[in-house]
């Protein structure tokens, strides 16, 4: 006797697909490694403090909530406006592109599906452009 059992398709949130807190922490660590080592990122690296521990924590916590997981950034730091938080920095096209390059390279080495990698880069391009546009006075 043969029973055909249809598999249930479970949809993961981007947070789950990225490996939850541990996976996002690895992504952020790789992102800041890129920022420390890529010559294209020198300008944006200089916008950060020498010790990146707090920056790593903030980005990790932000991405957790942004990807559909726990809202750790809000729990620890309160509400955030990404463009507002970056308004004090001179962010133009070059800086936006350097940030996206660091993130693209960090995403590329993660054990994510190609679909998730494409989604993340496209989705992160939106706030990156918004920060640039706000700093340029375009919005």
pLDDT band (50, 70, 90) for residue 120: very high
How many angstroms from the chain centroid is the CA of residue 127?
10
Tell me the average pLDDT of the chain: 93
What is the Rg, in whole angstroms, of the alpha carbon atoms belonging to the chain? Answer: 17
Q: Tell me the CA distances in angstroms from 63 to 1, 45, 121, 133, one per residue in order.
A: 49, 19, 13, 21
Question: 116 or 9, which is more confident?
Answer: 116
| pTM: predicted TM-score of the whole model, two decimal places | 0.90
User: pLDDT digit string (tens) for 82-109?
Assistant: 999 999 999 999 999 999 999 999 999 9
Separation between Cα atoms, residue 121 and residue 126, nearest integer Å = 9
């Amino acid at each position: 006797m043969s029973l055909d059992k249809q598999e249930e398709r479970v949809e993961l949130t981007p947070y789950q697909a990225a490996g939850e807190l541990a996976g996002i922490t690895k992504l952020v660590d790789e992102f800041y490694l890129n920022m420390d080592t890529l010559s294209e990122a020198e300008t944006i690296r200089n916008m950060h403090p020498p010790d990146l521990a707090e920056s790593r924590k903030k980005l990790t916590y932000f991405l957790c909530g942004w990807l559909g997981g726990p809202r750790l950034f809000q729990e620890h730091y309160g509400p955030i406006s990404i463009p507002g938080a970056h308004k004090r920095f001179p962010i133009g096209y070059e800086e936006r592109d350097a940030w996206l390059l660091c993130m693209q390279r960090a995403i590329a080495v993660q054990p994510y599906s190609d679909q998730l990698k494409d989604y993340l880069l496209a989705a992160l391009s939106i706030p990156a452009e918004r920060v640039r546009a706000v700093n340029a006075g375009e919005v």
